[in-house]
């Protein structure tokens, strides 16, 4: 009996050893390709990615502990098997943004299926030297690099990493499907321009959960063509809140549909949850949007539909927005506002909002600008449950 047991244990050890050896053979540590701390590791990363992506079995690229400078990197697929990118240390962007074009990513993942990005490390965009210098509130910083772009990435998980001080948007998702973002930390100061935390556009079935986002712009922004997006258990602040839009600025924008924001907390943000469209806009559609179980702490406009979105007065407000909004609900929202307009639903006079529901809202305001109130224009409104402030009675 003892001999048989010893043979079983020995066989188990052999299997474990073989498994470990095989696994180690598929790990591509960038230091094995010449990467050194405080040097540009672009070439080492490219070689490690090439090896891992061409492997017929699941493989892993590793950025170990330490700080590694990176001029820029693009990781192309498709890969031959599922692939991991384990960021333990810090990748640090150049301070000078020269050489980037409109919409470029500093780090870009493109056309990859079954990517897992994780490790507890940091993408450090080093944006402090460019905010307010290369652009300002009147000029969009299009030539500043986005920290991390995911272009046409599918069935993938991005978790447990930090995006720090991006020069422009922290994370942009374009053409994605089946993506989960979990346990992220996105950090930039309140005075950093255009540093949206996560921007999602033309993507389907995206989940953003259990994350902490503080920026100088929207914590999460949703562009046209986004469908089946769920945001849950996200803490936002400072920043401009979570925004659908802005929509209607460009022709042929795809519909936005199936957006859920729930169980989130907003701390000192300019807005809470917001839908924004341009006046004098192109045609567009956004529908099936739910905002529920939200906690507002000293938020400027906790609940907001703004179809007269016109930053810096650069639009023709006399011409109504042509983006049609419908099937929208704001429920179980509580907390405090820093302005009296706690619920503000300003819809288009040309295309009034349809099937909007508010219910169980309790938002207090203790400032000296008057009582807390609801403001409504051009909205077909249904009220359920208790309401503080008192609901608007207006119907389009």
Question: Which DSSP string corresponds to 184-213?
Answer: -EEE--TT-TT--SEEEES-EEEEEEEEEE
Residue 23 binned pLDDT confidence (cut-offs 50, 70, 90): very low
DSSP, collapsed to helix, strand or coil, labels residue 312 as: helix
Buried b (16+ CB within 10 A) or exposed e, 182-209: bebbbbbebebbbbbbbbbbbbbbbbbb
C-alpha span between 250 and 194 (Å, rounded): 19
C-alpha span between 343 and 299 (Å, rounded): 11
Residue 101 near residue 67, CB atoms below 8 Å: no
Residue 133 binned pLDDT confidence (cut-offs 50, 70, 90): confident
Q: Tell me, what's the pLDDT at 17?
A: 35
Neighbouring C-alpha atoms within 13 Å toward the C-beta of 109: 24
The residues, ordered by sequence, that sit 6+ positions from 17 with a Cβ below 8 Å of its Cβ are none
Residue 140 binned pLDDT confidence (cut-offs 50, 70, 90): low
Q: What's the rounded mean pLDDT across residues 29-57?
A: 97
C-alpha span between 185 and 161 (Å, rounded): 7
Q: Tell me, what's the pLDDT at 388?
A: 96
DSSP label at residue 50? H
Residue 380 near residue 347, CB atoms below 8 Å: no
Residue 246: is the preceding peptide bond cis (ω within 30°)? yes
Lowest mean pLDDT segment, chosen from 130-144, 292-306, 381-395: 130-144
Lowest mean pLDDT segment, chosen from 23-32, 174-183, 205-214: 23-32
Buried b (16+ CB within 10 A) or exposed e, 225-240: bbbbbbbbebebbbbb
Lowest mean pLDDT segment, chosen from 17-31, 229-243, 331-345: 17-31
Q: Tell me, what's the pLDDT at 4?
A: 43
Chain center to CA of 171: 6
Q: Tell me, what's the pLDDT at 143?
A: 86
DSSP label at residue 32? G
Residue 141 binned pLDDT confidence (cut-offs 50, 70, 90): confident
Residue 66 near residue 90, CB atoms below 8 Å: yes
Listed in sequence order, the DSSP H helices in the chain are 2-24, 42-53
Q: Which of 299, 199, 207 is nearest to 259 (CA)?
A: 207
Per-residue pLDDT of 255-299, as tens digits, reads: 999 999 999 999 999 999 999 999 999 999 999 999 999 999 999
Q: Tell me, what's the pLDDT at 8?
A: 46
C-alpha span between 279 and 271 (Å, rounded): 19
Residue 156 near residue 125, CB atoms below 8 Å: no
Residue 310 near residue 341, CB atoms below 8 Å: no
C-alpha span between 237 and 267 (Å, rounded): 5
Tell me: pLDDT of 2 over 90: no
Question: Which DSSP string corresponds to 4-24?
Answer: HHHHHHHHHHHHHHHHHHHHH
Residue 136 binned pLDDT confidence (cut-offs 50, 70, 90): low
C-alpha span between 369 and 371 (Å, rounded): 7
Listed in sequence order, the DSSP H helices in 211-294 are none
Among the listed residues 170, 199, 240, 282, the single catalytic one is 240
Residue 42: is the preceding peptide bond cis (ω within 30°)? no
Q: Is 23 a catalytic residue?
A: no
Q: Tell me, what's the pLDDT at 14?
A: 35
Tell me: pLDDT of 35 over 90: yes
Q: Tell me, what's the pLDDT at 10?
A: 39
Phi, psi of 294, deg, nearest 5: -120, 145
Q: Which of 239, 238, 231, 237 is nearest to 210 (CA)?
A: 231
Tell me: pLDDT of 334 over 60: yes
Per-residue pLDDT of 287-326, as tens digits, reads: 999 999 999 999 999 999 999 999 877 788 889 999 999 9
């Amino acid at each position: 009996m003892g001999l048989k047991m010893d043979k079983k244990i020995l066989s188990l050890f052999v299997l474990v050893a073989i498994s470990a050896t095989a696994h180690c053979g598929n790990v591509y540590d960038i230091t094995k390709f010449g990467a050194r701390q405080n040097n540009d590791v672009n070439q080492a990363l490219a070689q490690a990615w090439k090896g891992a992506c061409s492997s017929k079995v699941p493989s892993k690229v590793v950025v170990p502990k330490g700080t590694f400078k990176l001029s820029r990197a693009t990781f192309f697929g498709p890969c031959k098997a599922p692939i991991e990118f384990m960021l333990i240390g810090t990748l640090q962007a150049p301070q000078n943004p020269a050489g980037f074009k409109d919409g470029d990513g500093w780090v870009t993942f493109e056309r990859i299926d079954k990517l897992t990005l994780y490790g507890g490390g940091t993408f450090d965009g080093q944006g402090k030297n460019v905010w307010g210098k290369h652009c300002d509130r009147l000029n969009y910083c299009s030539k500043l690099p986005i920290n991390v772009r995911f272009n046409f990435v599918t069935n993938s998980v991005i978790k447990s990493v930090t995006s720090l001080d991006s020069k422009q948007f922290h994370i942009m998702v374009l053409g994605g499907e089946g993506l989960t973002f979990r346990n992220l930390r996105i950090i930039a100061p309140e005075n950093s321009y255009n540093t949206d935390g996560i921007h999602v556009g033309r993507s389907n079935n995206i989940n953003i959960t259990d994350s902490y986002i503080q920026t100088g712009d929207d914590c999460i922004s949703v562009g046209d063509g986004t469908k089946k997006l769920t945001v849950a258990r996200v803490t936002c602040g400072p920043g401009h809140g979570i925004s659908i839009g802005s929509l209607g600025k460009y022709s042929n924008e795809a519909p936005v549909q199936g957006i859920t924001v729930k169980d989130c907390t907003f701390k000192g943000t300019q807005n809470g949850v917001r839908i924004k469209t341009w006046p004098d806009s192109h045609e567009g559609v956004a529908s099936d949007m739910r905002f529920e179980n939200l906690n507002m702490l000293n938020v400027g406009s906790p609940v907001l539909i703004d179809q007269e979105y016109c930053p810096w007065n650069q639009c023709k407000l006399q011409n109504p927005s042509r983006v049609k909004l419908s099937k929208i609900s704001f429920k179980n929202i509580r907390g405090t506002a820093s302005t009296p307009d706690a619920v503000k639903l300003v819809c288009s006079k040309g295309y009034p909002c349809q099937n909007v529901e508010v219910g169980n809202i309790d938002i207090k305001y203790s400032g000296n600008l008057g009582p807390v109130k609801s403001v409504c224009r051009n909205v077909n409104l249904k009220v359920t449950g208790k309401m503080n402030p008192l609901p608007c009675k207006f119907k389009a």
